[in-house]
Structure 1
């Protein structure tokens, strides 16, 4: 069902992979075949689409313009293919999801389990990124949907579902702050802090408050890895900050404690949203996955 020129598929593969060799591996063809298709496309358009750089290629201005067209064409083709399969009574297709690392422990496996029960022929690719990259991957066509905390709004990004979760201090049960009903960031001064870096959404929420810390009271560790922060907190090496999502097993076993974080007498919240590219007609496989993810999000928010 390749209704479009092979060169467009090869172009999109190179755009996604960032190199001709990597694209060839994903397409299971020779690098020379990919290169020929790119040269053919450049000859037809009359412009260079990729700039050769050390380690790969990057889009030129002409390549960026073509990429916007190709994303729409290929996503619309996937939607049409899914609709045709739907007429046959089949739930089939593929969905690319980009999400944050913190959702891969409980939220995403549970939701994908529900998807498999409903539509076992839908396949999924799941990629983890910091919240700062999710919007660009969705609007750029690298992912069908993105799931992340406090993603900044933009015109070409549609928020399909959202729920709020309380932010809190996370600590080992023996920590001096673990027994409190709530804490402020001022209460955390003098304790070892394990903090997210700028690639994680919670950094933006904490940044104005942390700016007021006295000299020498900064982070013990700053990291982009939710897993590292989780492991260090579990080992009692400091305190960190996040929602309860992903920590449910440890909280239930009493291995970690989540203490609500307050600011000016009010709880602090973080918004978890599910996003798709604005104006896009969703393939049936993407639409079904989106609806299941949204339902699961509402259920999880209701529980905690």
Structure 2
């Protein structure tokens, strides 16, 4: 079964209803969103399961979870729903209105992708861009579920169900106030952070966890002075004097601060990726090509 799955006996209404259910995994909430009764929704999902001859969800404790088949059907259903919505919109506007969807983090949009997206949108007969702001794990899930066609994130190891191409490599910099003792250095080391008050993301975020492990490996004691989610907020609070911070080297550094390349923190390889079982359409491939052509543009600013 794939995104072009052959399920001729199913109907669009049942699939669209299942797409809503798959996003909520709650029959009451899904029925409310669909403006139908809960028994009616149960009947639609049950009939769809019978037609495909496979379980679409299971109960685990007090929660519902999609089966592997359910995930595939949900992805197919979302694609059909999105296509139908675009088709209706195109009819209303008197024209075809193709849409290309992309998920990436706020920092990637702000510092890495602007040039590529501008060139893509400025080209003749370009499709409409729909941009979703998602972190790494959320971008992967959005691609897997069919919510978006492309994702951009630092993947590390590429999951087997994705096809990814390296976009660019981004190092890390230590950001300190002008006049700080480290500003005379060409590079900083992790042990230079001994005793530092650091502005970091909340616990559990990838950057916070990796930085913590690296500092622990160097036996460096440090204290979080403030938790802030996102490069912009971290830099703003560094500018306000809350402490030092470590951010991607692609970030714009505010006035009053100095960025020093940080040794010992590995560079992040950002990838552009799509689902392995869904080859890019012509429009999606054009966006990929634009992204890859300008992936290192931030280094020349």
Comparing 272-281 with 206-215, which one deviates more in the overlay?
206-215
1:33 Cα offset (Å): 7.3
Match of 1:192 in 2: 197
1:143 Cα offset (Å): 2.3
Contact 2:116 2:293 in 1 (8 A): no
Contact 1:91 1:119 in 2 (8 A): no
Match of 1:12 in 2: 19
The 3 A distance-change label for structure 1 pair 165 and 215 is closer
1:194 Cα offset (Å): 1.3
The 3 A distance-change label for structure 1 pair 30 and 209 is closer
Partner of residue 269 from structure 1, selected from 257, 267, 270: 267
Distance across 2 between alignment mates of 1:280 and 1:76: 14
Contact 1:168 1:260 in 2 (8 A): yes
- Cα shift readout 1:111-143 (whole Å, capped 9, x = no counterpart): 332222115652233222332333233223232
Give the paired residue count: 281
- Cα shift readout 1:222-248 (whole Å, capped 9, x = no counterpart): 444333312211222111112222326
1:58 Cα offset (Å): 4.4
Distance across 2 between alignment mates of 1:113 and 1:20: 41
Match of 1:122 in 2: 127
1:292 Cα offset (Å): 1.3
- Structure 1 residue runs without a partner (length 5+): none
TM superposition score normalised by structure 2: 0.75
Counterpart mapping for 1:102-141 below 5 A: 102-118=107-123, 122-141=127-146
The 3 A distance-change label for structure 1 pair 198 and 209 is same
Contact 1:162 1:274 in 2 (8 A): yes
- Structure 2 residue runs without a partner (length 5+): 1-7
Match of 2:276 in 1: 278
Match of 1:68 in 2: 72
The 3 A distance-change label for structure 1 pair 36 and 73 is closer
TM superposition score normalised by structure 1: 0.74
The 3 A distance-change label for structure 1 pair 112 and 159 is same
Counterpart mapping for 1:292-303 below 5 A: 292-301=290-299, 303=300
